[in-house]
């Protein structure tokens, strides 16, 4: 416990480093998954191969990938960029299927009616289909976010700073406090990020709760009216 | 005026949905396409705003081939109302109605002002504007759908079974409301339904369709009920089963009770015959039914 209190500044620093590695990866995975999912849904014969193929990327062991990437893209072994790219790949592996299913779940009724009232294809995608896929997309992003935050730690083995460094240091120097702090902060960070995502979802998609929270009584009254 | 010129539609999978269909829809009137499910009504309706391209033939609006028009621009100047309202679930009622003016370039404030105007036109309380479609009853949603269809003040309104999914009482109310709105706005409406009573209530002209979009009969409601030349039409309207052959009997309180051939009571006569009036009977149990059955009442 004293170790933790004595090392608060370092823990804070590592937390920020941890976020700096995982958040960009979540964003990149999300942004890339949308066009991929859209394309997979459009070209029906390619859908399963694309979704399964990207999904399999998740099976690539993370440590070898961290080590392989520098050789592939010419970065140095300790470059944080390797970690961000590797995490983006894992995130994408999780996200593409979620995104494809989220976009596919938008009903034909809504699509047809949006076309009928004069949305262009692009306008319909961004103002109708994407927002309506929002709740399911959010569910996918939450998984990717938590997964990324937990995976980042592995990169500490290579000497890239993150909360994972608290484990490696703790093991190397036999400091229980450091190990505990590493575990605790990773979990807390994941929880906070997840909570923020949920809150952001509520703010961005207000039509959702209204439907759920709607009292039954009011509904039956209207039907009667 | 909308003109279908010998249109056919064969879908890529080989379904011949419409074969050689021709029709002129006069401006400022309601034309009902009446027919069973799958007979090509939706296909025909969607040819007007180019959501379906005819395989052969052409659709003309005021003598201009719609194939020459840019589809998105065309749709923005034609109102469209469908079953299950087709509202955007993630937009508030007022913004749903304002969508089309917004697409047409109106400012948000102007579009919303227009939206509130239309809510009044279709008989919706302005306080419902801030709700989401999921928070409305089916009937209210259809009213919003109609308001949205009217939002850009289109000359043409395409309605695809707009009241098909609401319960009968609400449906009658919505039909009455549409008649009222139409009497005032005089749009050119093509209204698709499989409900005979709805067709007789709303149509200035009714086109009865068989499978493949074949026209079985066309005419005013009174003409259709009176001229029983086609067996299919008679069966469809229920003329052969006596649904519209009416008999009158003295009601319990002295008026006239009208029933169909199966003995199903339809309503009370409140206008004739004259002698019954002096008894003071002026009830009208079911105005709609009475209205619809008038043309076929025998003198
Ligand atoms: N996109 C489509 N692809 C193939 N067949 C279709 C398509 N849309 C409609 N059909 C078929 O065309 C026929 C007419 O359909 P539709 O116009 O929707 O009829 P209605 O609106 O009268 O019920 C039906 O047999 C239907 O199955
Ligand atoms: Mg249809």
Q: Is the pLDDT of residue A214 over 80?
A: no
Half-sphere exposure of B227 (CA within 13 A, CB side): 11
Domain boundaries, chain A: 2-224
Q: What are the phi and psi torsion angles at B220 (to 5°)?
A: -75, 165
The pLDDT-based confidence of A5 (bands split at 50, 70, 90) is confident
Put simply, the chain B residues between 190 and 219 with a CB less than 8 A from any chain A CB are none
- In the sheet that holds B247-250, the strands lie side by side as B247-250, B256-259, B265-269
CATH of A2-224, one of 3.40.50.300, 3.40.50.150, 1.10.3720.10, 3.40.50.1980: 1.10.3720.10
Do residues A54 and A97 make contact, with C-beta atoms less than 8 angstroms apart? yes
The distance of B277 to chain A (nearest Cα, Å) reads: 34
Q: What share of chain B in percent tops pLDDT 90?
A: 70
The pLDDT-based confidence of B241 (bands split at 50, 70, 90) is low
Q: What share of chain A in percent tops pLDDT 70?
A: 92
ipTM of this complex prediction, to 2 decimal places: 0.80
Per-residue pLDDT at B276: 44
**Gap between the Cα atoms of B108 and B128, Å rounded:** 18
Delineate the domains of chain B, giving CATH numbers in brackets: 2-236 (3.40.50.300), 247-293 (no CATH)
Instruction: For B107-147, write each residue's pLDDT tens digit.
Output: 999 999 999 999 999 999 999 999 999 999 999 999 999 99
The distance of B282 to chain A (nearest Cα, Å) reads: 27
DSSP-assigned letter for residue B297: -
Give me the helices (H) in chain A, please: 2-6, 8-42, 44-56, 62-73, 80-104, 108-116, 121-124, 130-152, 164-173, 176-204, 207-213, 216-224
Which of B51, B131, B140 is opposite residue A116, by nearest beta carbon?
B51
Task: Determine contact: B137 vs chain A, CB below 8 A.
Answer: yes
- CA Rg value for chain A: 22
Query: Atom of ligand 1 at shortest distance to CA of B18?
Result: 14
What's the Cα-to-Cα distance from A126 to each of A120, A129, A130, A131, A207, rounded to whole Å? 10, 6, 5, 7, 17
Q: Is the pLDDT of residue B227 over 60?
A: yes
Instruction: For A85-128, write each residue's pLDDT tens digit.
Output: 999 999 999 999 999 999 999 999 999 999 999 999 999 999 99
Residue B274 Cβ inside 6 Å of ligand 1? The answer reads no
DSSP reduced 3-state for A107: coil
Q: Which of B49, B42, B43, B54 is nearest to B76 (CA)?
A: B49
Q: Is the pLDDT of residue B256 over 70?
A: yes
Q: Token digits for A222? A: 């209207």
The CA dihedral of B160, B164, B170, B174, to the nearest 10 degrees, is: 10
Q: Which of B112, B181, B184 is nearest to B142 (CA)?
A: B181
Instruction: For B63-106, write each residue's pLDDT tens digit.
Output: 999 999 999 999 999 999 998 878 999 999 999 999 999 999 99
Residue of A nearest to B138 (CA): A223
CB contact under 8 Å between B134 and A214, yes or no, is yes
Per-residue pLDDT at B15: 94
Q: How far is the CA of B182 from the centre of ligand 2 (A)?
A: 22
The pLDDT-based confidence of B289 (bands split at 50, 70, 90) is very low
Ligand nearest to the CA of B35: 1
Q: Is the pLDDT of residue B219 over 80?
A: yes
Q: What are the phi and psi torsion angles at B94 (to 5°)?
A: -65, -35
Q: Token digits for B23? A: 């029709």
DSSP reduced 3-state for B1: coil
Residue B193 Cβ inside 6 Å of ligand 1? The answer reads no
Q: Which of A204, A80, A78, A84 is nearest to A148 (CA)?
A: A84
Put simply, the chain B residues between 5 and 64 with a CB less than 8 A from any chain A CB are 46, 49, 51
Q: Is the pLDDT of residue B294 over 70?
A: no
Q: Token digits for B219? A: 């005419």
- Whether pTM > 0.90 for this model: the answer is no
């Amino acid at each position: 416990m004293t170790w933790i209190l004595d090392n608060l500044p370092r823990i804070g620093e590592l937390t920020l480093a941890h976020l700096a590695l995982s958040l960009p990866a979540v964003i990149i995975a999300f942004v890339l998954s949308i066009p991929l999912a859209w394309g997979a849904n459009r070209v029906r014969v390619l859908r399963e191969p694309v979704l399964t193929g990207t999904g399999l990327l998740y099976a690539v062991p993370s440590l070898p990938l961290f080590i392989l990437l520098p050789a592939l893209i010419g970065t140095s072994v300790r470059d944080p960029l390797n970690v961000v790219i590797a995490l983006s790949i894992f995130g994408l592996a999780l996200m593409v299927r979620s995104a494809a299913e989220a976009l596919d779940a938008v009903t034909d009724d809504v699509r047809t009616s949006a076309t009928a009232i004069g949305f262009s294809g692009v306008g319909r995608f961004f103002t109708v289909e994407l927002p309506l896929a929002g709740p399911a997309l959010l569910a996918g992003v939450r998984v990717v976010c938590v997964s990324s935050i937990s995976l980042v730690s592995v990169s500490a083995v290579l000497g890239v700073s993150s909360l994972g460094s608290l484990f490696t240091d703790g093991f190397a120097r036999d400091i229980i406090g450091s190990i505990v702090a590493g575990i605790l902060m990773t979990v807390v960070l994941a929880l906070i990020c997840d909570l923020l995502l949920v809150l952001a979802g509520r703010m961005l998609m207000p039509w959702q709760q209204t439907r759920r929270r709607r009292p039954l009584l009011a509904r039956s009254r209207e039907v009667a009216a | 005026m909308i003109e279908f010129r010998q249109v056919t539609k064969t879908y890529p999978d080989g379904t011949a949905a419409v074969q050689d269909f021709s029709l002129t829809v006069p401006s400022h009137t309601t034309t009902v396409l009446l027919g069973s499910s799958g007979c090509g009504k939706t296909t025909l309706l969607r040819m007007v705003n180019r959501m379906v391209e005819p395989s052969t033939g052409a659709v003309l609006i005021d003598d201009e081939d719609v194939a020459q028009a840019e589809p998105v621009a065309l749709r923005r100047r034609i109102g469209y109302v469908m079953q299950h309202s087709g509202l955007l679930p993630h937009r508030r009622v007022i913004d749903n109605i304002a969508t089309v003016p917004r697409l047409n370039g109106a400012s948000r404030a102007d579009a919303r002002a227009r939206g509130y105007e239309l809510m009044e036109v279709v008989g919706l309380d302005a306080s419902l504007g801030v709700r989401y479609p999921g928070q409305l009853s089916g009937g209210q949603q259809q009213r919003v759908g109609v308001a949205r269809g009217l939002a850009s003040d289109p000359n043409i309104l395409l309605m695809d079974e707009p009241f098909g999914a609401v319960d009968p009482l609400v449906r009658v109310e919505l039909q009455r409301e549409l008649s009222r709105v139409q009497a005032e706005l005089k749009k050119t409406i093509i209204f698709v339904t499989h409900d005979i009573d709805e067709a007789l209530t709303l149509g200035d002209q009714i086109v009865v369709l068989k499978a493949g979009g074949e026209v079985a009969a066309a005419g005013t409601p009174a003409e259709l009920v009176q001229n029983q030349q086609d067996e299919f039409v008679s069966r469809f309207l229920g003329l052969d089963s006596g649904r519209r052959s009416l008999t009158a009997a003295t009601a319990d309180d002295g008026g006239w009770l009208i029933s169909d051939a199966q003995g199903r009571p339809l309503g009370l006569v409140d206008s004739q015959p004259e002698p019954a009036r002096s008894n003071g009977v002026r009830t009208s149990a079911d105005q709609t039914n009475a209205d619809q059955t008038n043309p076929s009442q025998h003198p």
